[in-house]
Every structure is written in C-alpha cells, then in structure tokens.
C-alpha cells in the first residue's frame, strides 16, 4: 500500500485524542487529525518526527492526517489505525497471509454473534467460512523486539474475542489477526500489564479453538506492506 505524498514535521503535542499540533521545517505550525483512538503509548514523543497526508477538501476542518510516527525507540509506527483493514485486505488478496490463502469470496464488516458485533472480514472457503478480526499493533518497548496489544484497556477487544470463541465452539473457523504496524518487531504478546482481562480473554479464546496470527510490515514514508509472519507469545 502506497501512502499519498507525505509531508514531515515535528510533534509538539497530541491532545483531546484526535488532535495533534506539529511544526514544519519552515516554522509553520499546524493542527492535524490524529486517527488513533488508543493511548499511543511508546509510539510518540514531543519533538519526534511525524509524517502526515495533507487534504485539500474544503469541507474538512483540519488540513491533514497524521500517518506515521517516529517512536522514542527509533522505530516507525503507522498510527493511522484506519489503514490496517485495507492493508490486511491487500495482503489477503495477494496470498501473503498463507494461513488464509485460497478463499473464494471476501466480505467486509459482517454482522455476527450474540453481542451484535461486526467482524472485519468473512472469508468463504470450500469447506466453510472463516471470521477474521483485525487489530492494529503499535506498542513497542525499549530493549525488546516484542510488541504488545492493547495499549489501553479495551472492553471492545475482549468482546470480539468472546464472539470469536463462541464461533469456534460451534466448529466455525475464527481468527484473531494482529497487524503489527511497527518496524523492528519480531514477535507479539498480549499486554497483560495494561489489560489483564484482555490477555485472559485471548488465552481463553485460544483454548476454545480461535486461531491467533500476527504479521509484521515493511514501512517507510512512501509505503507500508505486510511482509512476514510473526510468532504470538501467549505466555511470555
């Protein structure tokens, strides 16, 4: 996936969750949209480099969207969580995610489950469907190449795991897929120190038959591409 042409700046602050003030090399200061509802723990710092896409849409209140952040650990993180599903769909269509290759149809945002959820993808195979939930991972730590999810307490994430587990108990294929939008990562784990309930729900879902996959990316200021499978460490 290629980004639109990105411009570079320096982060001044992120606030009210969806707003970020940045400074360009010219000294101009802009307020741009931050398309990330999480805490963005460890993937931004005041003075760090950011890359953003600019919009010329007169209906928009803000001139640009924050796309990439330089983390305090020197990694790059695609913080625009809205790109994760399109990125995964691109990889699915190209057969990069080997465990999910060979489907005959792909549907997005399919309603399912007792808790009235919507799964990111339903893939149809000759032997039945697979329900795939995607989570974008950007939380990294110093001195380790293991990323973690989530970066804040997520009751919604735990609900999705319960829904997937209910499918798996019925014999329907259910998959939790972590899209690790962070460079320099070699594995993924549940962030038990942040959300113990989510980590417990993940282990329970696996015990019920939910498949857990993780894929890493190649990322620069021109493109982001899913390019490799990563191990998931359920009990790190």
Task: Indicate whether 156 and 212 sit together in one domain.
Answer: yes
Residues 6+ apart with CB under 8 A from 216: 180, 182, 185, 186, 226, 227, 228, 229, 230
Rounded Cα–Cα distance for residues 45 and 193 (Å):
21
- End residue of a domain, out of 36, 52, 78: 78
CATH code at position 26: 2.40.50.580
Task: Indicate whether 108 and 220 sit together in one domain.
Answer: yes
- End residue of a domain, out of 78, 106, 122: 78
In 100-220, the DSSP E strands lie at 105-112, 117-125, 128-137, 146-149, 173-180, 187-190, 211-219
Residues 6+ apart with CB under 8 A from 236: 146, 189
Task: Indicate whether 155 and 172 sit together in one domain.
Answer: yes
Express as a percent the part of the chain with pLDDT over 70. 100
The SS3 call for residue 187 is strand
> Looking at the 3D structure of the chain, how many domains does it have?
2
C-beta of residue 206 within 8 angstroms of C-beta of residue 197:
no
Strand 173-180 to 211-219 pairing: parallel
Q: Is 29 inside a domain boundary?
A: yes
pTM score above 0.75: yes
Residue 60: pLDDT over 90: no
Residue 236: pLDDT over 80: no
Task: Indicate whether 10 and 87 sit together in one domain.
Answer: no
Neighbour tally for 77: CB within 10 Å: 29
C-beta of residue 32 within 8 angstroms of C-beta of residue 65:
yes
Residue pLDDT, tens place only, 159-176: 999 999 999 999 999 999
Task: Indicate whether 193 and 86 sit together in one domain.
Answer: yes
Q: Is 166 inside a domain boundary?
A: yes
Range of the domain at 64: 6-78
């Amino acid at each position: 996936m290629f980004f639109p042409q990105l411009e570079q700046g320096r982060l001044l602050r992120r606030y009210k969750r969806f707003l970020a003030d940045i400074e360009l090399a010219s000294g101009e200061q802009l307020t741009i949209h931050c398309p990330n509802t999480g805490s963005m723990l460890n993937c931004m710092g005041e003075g760090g480099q950011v890359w953003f896409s600019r919009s010329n849409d007169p209906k928009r209140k803000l001139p640009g969207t924050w796309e990439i952040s330089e983390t305090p650990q020197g990694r790059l993180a695609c913080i625009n969580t809205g790109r994760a599903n399109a990125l995964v769909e691109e990889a699915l269509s190209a057969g990069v995610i080997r465990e999910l290759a060979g489907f005959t149809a792909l549907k997005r945002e399919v309603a399912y489950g007792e808790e009235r959820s919507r799964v990111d993808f339903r893939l149809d195979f000759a032997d039945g469907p697979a329900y795939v939930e995607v989570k974008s991972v950007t939380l990294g730590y110093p001195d380790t190449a293991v990323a973690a999810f989530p970066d804040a307490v997520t009751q919604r994430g735990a609900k999705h795991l319960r829904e997937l587990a209910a499918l798996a108990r019925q014999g329907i294929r259910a998959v939790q897929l972590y899209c690790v939008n962070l460079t320099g990562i070699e594995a993924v784990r549940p962030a038990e120190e942040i959300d113990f309930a989510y980590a417990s729900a993940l282990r329970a879902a696996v015990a019920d038959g939910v498949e857990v996959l993780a894929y890493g990316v190649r990322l620069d200021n021109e493109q982001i591409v899913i390019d490799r499978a990563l191990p998931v460490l359920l009990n790190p």
